[in-house]
Amino acid sequence: MITVVHKHDIWLPPQQNWIYHQVKYLPADVEAHVVCRRIENADQYGLDRLHCQPISTRWAPLERFGLGALRRRREQAFLRRVIGQVRADLLHSHFGYEAWRNRRALADQSIRHVVTFYGVDVNHYPQRDPRWRDRYRRMFADLDAVLCEGPFMARCVERLGCPAAKLHVQHLGVPIDRIAYRPRRWRPNEPLRVLMAASFREKKGLCYGLEALGRLRADVPLEITIIGDALPEQRSRREKEKILRTIGTCQLGRQVRLLGVQPYAVFLAEAYNHHLFLSPSVTAADGDTEGGAPVSLIDMAASGMPIVSTIHCDIPEVIQDGVTGFLAEQRSVDQLEGLLRRLIERPDDWPAMLQAGRRRMEQQFDAARQALRLAQIYRQVVG
């Protein structure tokens, strides 16, 4: 039996359900605990061994006045206490910046440390603040293993100073057994129903997708659904304003439904009511990227939906261009439009592509299979 403590700040925002799947599907010989500062969406992502830091009425007023260092010290003290109580063999930090902060809790403890990078921590943090490059280099010296979603991300993390011997490509997974395969069919006499789902960030490229759809509006009846919304941060609110302006400029107001943030179950239910999924990710001006690939691509390919996305980070690791979906160059509205038209003009090509997509998701991105591989990494690290 291996005892693993997973550390994540908030357990769990709906757009991070892939972290839940990593923990939920671990085999029985891995005893998994989660330590967090706050619990959200417990009805969707509840676990038996969930340790939430107690709320302190004594220190909360000081923390609200900006004493972030005090809050972090309390978090690390709580993490250290849980590690000792459960006699953990290994700490799994989620996001690179979490691993840097968690180093303090591991001082003088004989416990292994693994981190998974996800995207914003790979590019955005080092570009926004160069001090993170030095922090990462120092952190990599102490870590036992560094997990990345795909080979592109692994190369990026290696350039940040991580020794190649510590890097592992560990695909994220979705619960394939819970995603029914229902290959979509579209008939030219019905509206083309297009789904987009992402948080409102520049890197999601939603505006480029909307511009491409705007060009189709005169030729094909469209019904467009967008699941997602702005995050509290200012850059996300600005992106929402841009998305709303694009909807107006492209005269798509009557075609677009904005559903806001929705639970995973609603996302899947909506997917089966749509013909295709559009996910045009880009590298943002501030350096933010997908790092790996949106997990929504895995969900949609597994469900039997044709996908148009972009050549960005590890998206080609998930969606093989021309085989399991179509990929455009980043920010190319012309190419996005062309690929959408290709799908519309060749509906007879859909079945083979959708079958190939489902097979690839079953083989490489199934949550249960990936959890077994993660457990193997744990055993290798613990020795």
Per-residue pLDDT of the chain (383 residues), as tens digits, is: 999 999 999 999 888 989 999 999 999 999 999 999 999 999 889 999 999 998 765 655 555 555 567 778 889 999 999 999 999 999 999 999 999 999 989 988 889 999 999 988 998 899 999 999 999 999 999 999 999 999 999 999 999 999 999 999 999 999 999 999 999 999 988 999 999 999 999 999 999 999 999 999 999 999 999 999 999 999 999 999 999 999 999 999 999 999 999 988 999 999 999 999 999 999 999 888 999 999 999 999 999 999 999 999 999 999 999 999 999 999 999 999 999 999 999 999 999 999 999 999 999 999 999 999 999 999 999 99
- Give the global pTM: 0.90
Please give the Cα distance from 382 to 27 (Å, whole number). 16
Half-sphere exposure of 184 (CA within 13 A, CB side): 27
Any bridge partners for residue 92, and if so which?
6, 114
Any bridge partners for residue 304, and if so which?
none
Mind listing the domains of the chain with CATH numbers?
2-173+366-382 (3.40.50.2000), 176-364 (3.40.50.2000)
For residue 308, CA distances in Å to 51, 69, 171, 292, 324 come to 40, 43, 20, 17, 10
